Amino acid sequence: MVILEPSISDYHIQLKPEHQEIQALAREFARNEIAPIADSIDKEDQIPETIVRKMADLGFLGVPYPTEYGGVGSDYLSMALVIEELARISCAVSVIPVAHTLIAMPLFVYGSEEQKKKFLSPLAQGKKIGAHAMTEPAAGSDVAGIKTTARREDDGWVLNGTKTFCTNGDIADLFLVFARTSDIVDEEKKRHLGLSGFILERGMEGFTVGNPIGKMGIRGSKSVELVLEGVKVPHANLLGEEGKGFYMAMDCYDHGRIEVASQGIGVAQAALEAAAKYATQRIAFGKPIMEFQSPQFMLGEAASEIQAARLLTYQAASLRDQGKEFMPTACMAKMYATEVGERTALIAIKLSGSAGVATEYPMERYLRDIQVTKIYEGTNDIQRLTLGRLIYKEAQAAISNSR
């Protein structure tokens, strides 16, 4: 997608009957299985294993992967629809397939045939859960600043380092761990070189999964610390080309931003519905507060923003499915949808008064849950920076071509 001179071909969203079917399936599952326990998931900070297993049985962990590898064989728009419906009921539950994608998608795109059969198939079938480990105590948005090392030996690699905020780490069987395989760290323009990705399995000697890190939102979805002390990894577990891990990770996050945008839409939709219901039932000055102009204005504007965010997210997924450049649109969708989610949650709290901040109502949970979506898969300011640089580059090219 070109930002300054867009083509109408970039705005083609092809919805098919199977999209309606998978949306209905995800919505029914979320309403029947997750909704009755969504509040307890948050309060107890625990997602029942039965929920994870049912998601796997329904294929929600393998939506965009070919059937030959155990996946559903659908597209990325279908994946976005599933995430939206799950997040509408519990953002925490929706995090599991989102984090799962961050190892399964790189395996599908960059993995060898042997790696796909050994690692992707059980992930796509939901027989194993995956996690992605890039973030370190001193390296978050600065991906190129990671310090975990991988030293080559005759029979494989030896990994040493510490990862943090590894989502799904508490339940994962397979981990995509990024480490530095070269010492190019001082040359500012080359810091992104020399990173490589490795598939690690739970239980490898020297590989320790730490305790969960407490969080204000998406409670139930656990993030943990990983400690690697002389972990021996066979050569066959190197994913993609040695030293090209940075590019693999960026492609991985481009996909992930579509799913995070879907989370934003789901939370926003839930907040809109909760606010509308409360405002319709709440009587003030002798009539439902929804009969006053101000609540109507606020909800009408929120509904418009949600619809815009939804269309932008579906566009990003559709561009990806058509094999077109989708990165700029994914950046826009992630940034916009998650902030729409926050604004709508705040409106829900404002319209609900004291009930909006009471833990017996879901409105305050929506606001807590949406915060992390603005951070992971690249903070929203990183999205702004990326888009700004793309616009600058296009403007330079336009000026150069006009001379």
Calpha distance 243→179 (Å, rounded): 9
Half-sphere CA count of 185, side-chain side, radius 13 A: 13
Count of Cβ atoms closer than 10 Å to residue 68 Cβ: 11
**β-strand partners of 287:** 284
Q: What angle do CA 187, 188, 194 make, to 5 degrees?
A: 65
At 20, the amino acid letter reads: Q
3 state DSSP class of 140: coil
Task: Please name which of 77, 64, 75, 73 lies closest in space to residue 13, comparing C-alpha atoms.
Answer: 77
Tokens encoding 381: 């300011």
Do residues 101 and 281 touch, judged by C-beta distance below 8 A? no
For 101-125, letters b (16+ CB in 10 Å) and e give bbbbbbbbebbeeebbebbbbbbbb
| Secondary structure (DSSP) of 329-390 | HHHHHHHHHHHHHHHHHHHHHHHHTHHHH-TTSSHHHHHHHHHHHTTTTS-HHHHHHHHHHH
CB-based contacts of 266, cutoff 8 Å, min separation 6: 83, 84, 85, 86, 87, 88, 89, 91, 94, 341
How many contiguous H segments (helices) and E segments (strands) does the chain have? 13, 10
For the chain, the distance separating the N- and C-terminal CA atoms, rounded to the nearest angstrom, is: 24
Q: Which active-site residues does the annotation give?
A: 377
Tokens encoding 355: 């009930």
Do residues 226 and 207 touch, judged by C-beta distance below 8 A? yes
